Structure formats: C-alpha cells, structure tokens
Amino acid sequence: MTAQKKRGLGRGLDALFGPTNPTQQSTPMSEMAEVSIADITPNPLQPRRDFDEEALQELATSISELGVIQPITLKRQQDGKYIIISGERRWRASQIAGLETLPAYIRDVDDEDLHAMALVENIQRENLNAIEIALGMQRLVEECGLTQEAMAQKVGKKRSTVSNYMRLLTLPSEVQLALKEGIISMGHAKAIAALDHDLQIKALKRCVKKSLSVRQAEDLARKFSEAPQSATAEEEDYPESYSRLVMELERVLSDNIAIKRTKSGTTRITIECANDKEVEMLVAKLNDIK
C-alpha cells in the first residue's frame, strides 16, 4: 500500500498546545519550566498503547547528544506533580538517556481538553493506528460525556469520519488485530464492517489470503451481502492440495472460483461469471494459456 500524505486535523496544534517553538514567549495559559522527570507521570488515557523499544533507544541516543529539542506539554496536578499531555516518547527516552529534568510547557486544562490534546497530538505527530485512534475517541465520548458531534468538533474531524473510526470497535477482535498490525488497512476494515457479523471473519480471511486491494475488498463485501452462501465456498476442511488448486486457477483464470467435494468423493470446480462479457474474458484467458 502506498504511503499517503498525512492530513492534519482541522484545529492547529498551536491552538491546542500553545507555542511549539521554545523561543516563543509563553501565553497566560502556558508557562515554560524545567521539570523533574521524577515528578512527571504518563497520561493513563494516552491513546498510544505501544512504544517501539528500538525507536525509543534511538531517540534516547539523540537526546544524549543533542538534548531535548522539543519541550513536552504537561498539566499541573493539585499535588504539584505533572501529567503528560504530549511527549510521552520524549519522557521515556529521556529516562533511558539518564536525564533528571525536562523542558516543558505547563498548561492549565480540564480533563476533557487533556484527553483531546493527547489524541490530537498523537494523530498528527505519532501516526497512531486506526484502532488506537478509535479507542481514543471512544474515551472522549464515554469518559468526558461528549456526543460524537461534540467530539468531532473538538478534534477537528468530520462527524462521518468519527463514526467510521468508532465503527471499527464493533468489529471482531481478529479484524481489529489485523488492522492494528497493518495486515489490512482502514479501507479494508470499513468494507468488512459493512457486512453482517457472521460474515466479517470470512471476509477478513479472504482479504488476507488473496491480498485483496481495498476496491476488491469492497467488491467482495458487496458479493457476500448479495449472496451470503458464496462466503462458505472455501470453509470446508479440504486437503492443502485443494487450496493450492483454487489459488492457481484464480491466478490465471478468475477470482470467483469455488471448489466442492461431494459425499461420494468427487470434486466439482465452479467458475462464477456474472455476465456474458465475463465468459468472453474467460475464454480469452484460456486461449492465452494455449
């Protein structure tokens, strides 16, 4: 899948975090300070769940040599300690590098804005996977009492986009894991989400097995919706040779091949053609093989 240019959220980070250049003057809502690392705790609702250890080590090496170039952003708590709004990777890497203090912007925000800032910062800067974004949005809705509309305005997304993300959380865990691990894209997941629950795992397996594009996944979902029985064509526990046969036939002939073994032991191979044009195309492919 080709990398796409990351699209920013509707609200700029400066509007949420204050100045991001250390040379800029602080605003009444933000002050600069050198804060003891021991007084800083991560946000328990931080949307990013996984931190690449190798990347953290590389960042720690850079910090050891150059220092922390970009201050982190903190919220001061009532006990005088601080909670991270943005910059947990820098905080973790600084600990590895052996630093005792960190430059930080101190912001006076409520819990609602704390969660929103953490989500926006991660979406724009940390390249969260779609499930992490969806979970972050869900927390804003549930724990801050926001409607999807209000939450969409807070993070600068269209309500339809928010709904698409939230819908991912209704998918089976297998589909969510495949999306989280990058095995499928959000486009694939959206296509699968359009199906009834009992067809979603079958669609996932078909997408992965055949390395379907998003367009092909959408076509597959449409086919499964119109003819649910087509989703069971590859379900039976056939010998591996049967699967290899189907894959080879699909590679040179058609994507719509099903194999069925009868009770008597005979095998029937079906090639589905939607119309006469597809029949003609199949004939042309057979002629090319000769």
79-92: per-residue pLDDT in tens? 889 988 888 889 99
pLDDT in tens, 139-198: 777 777 778 888 788 777 788 888 888 899 999 998 999 998 889 999 999 999 999 888
User: Per the confidence metrics, is the pTM higher than 0.85?
Assistant: no
Tell me which fold the domain 170-232 belongs to.
Arc Repressor Mutant, subunit A (1.10.10)
Contact status, residue 105 vs residue 138, Cβ threshold 8 Å: no
The residue annotated as part of the active site, out of 31, 34, 53, 88, is 88
Query: Which are the contacts of 72, defined by CB distance < 8 A and separation ≥ 6?
Result: 40, 84, 85, 86, 87, 88, 90, 91, 102, 103, 104, 105
Q: Rounded to 5 degrees, what are φ and ψ at 228?
A: -55, -25
Mean pLDDT calculated for residue range 53-67: 89
Comparing 184 with 121, which gets the higher pLDDT?
A: 184
Q: Is 88 a catalytic residue?
A: yes
Whether pLDDT at 204 is above 80: yes
Contact status, residue 252 vs residue 244, Cβ threshold 8 Å: no
* Percentage with pLDDT > 90 across the chain: 19
Whether pLDDT at 199 is above 80: yes
Q: What pLDDT score does 17 carry?
A: 38
Rounded Cα distance between 227 and 206, Å, is 15
pLDDT in tens, 206-241: 888 888 899 999 999 998 888 877 666 555 555 556
Whether pLDDT at 110 is above 60: yes
Candidate CATH numbers 3.90.1530.10, 1.10.260.40, 3.30.470.10, 3.50.50.60; the one for domain 13-168: 3.90.1530.10
Residues of the chain with CATH 1.10.10.2830: 170-232
Query: Which are the contacts of 140, defined by CB distance < 8 A and separation ≥ 6?
Result: 112, 115, 116, 119, 146, 151, 154, 155
Mean pLDDT of the chain: 77
Residues of the chain with CATH 3.90.1530.10: 13-168
